[in-house]
Amino acid sequence: MNANQKSDSTLCFVKPNIKITKFYSKDELNKLQKLDLIEVYKSRLAYLIEILPFLSLNPEPGSSFREMSIPETETNISHLEKEMKNKQDFIKSLFETLDDVVPYSEKTNIIWSILYFDDMIKKSMNQNK
């Protein structure tokens, strides 16, 4: 079973296990060390990379093709497999780059970015509410 399939083998574009478990206040972020902030920053990017492309279909992690009204055709399954591999390669490459360059960022800019990403994530979570 590939990483983007639920245990019952339904196909999904957004990994079911991707989630944000904690949103931080600006004060909490200010107390974190820069390397910890970078990990939070990267976790937000990983979430957004998973969710945003499919936001118009269904923003819920683990949503099946059926829940997104996508027919389970050979073509769509092929798109899923290609998208999953491309996304994994992209995230790996992006994180390698970020690990090298983001430490040069000002701490305040990293914090601002995390808060901005959090706002986007919260809005995506409330899309259907």
Give the pLDDT confidence of 25-53 residue by residue, as tens digits. 999 999 999 999 999 999 999 999 988 88
Identify whether 104 is part of a domain. Answer: yes
pLDDT averaged over the chain? 87
**How many Å apart are CA 25 and CA 45, to the nearest integer?**
18
How many folded domains does the chain comprise?
1
| Residue 18 forms part of a structural domain | no
61-85 per-position pLDDT tens digit: 888 888 888 899 999 999 988 988 9
So what's the pLDDT on residue 125?
80
10 part of a folded domain:
no
Alpha carbon of 73 to those of 14, 62, 69: distances in Å? 18, 18, 12
13 in a structural domain: no
CA distances from 64 to 26, 48, 70, 81, 106 (A): 35, 18, 8, 14, 40
- pLDDT at site 11: 78
Q: What average pLDDT does this structure show over 51-56?
A: 85
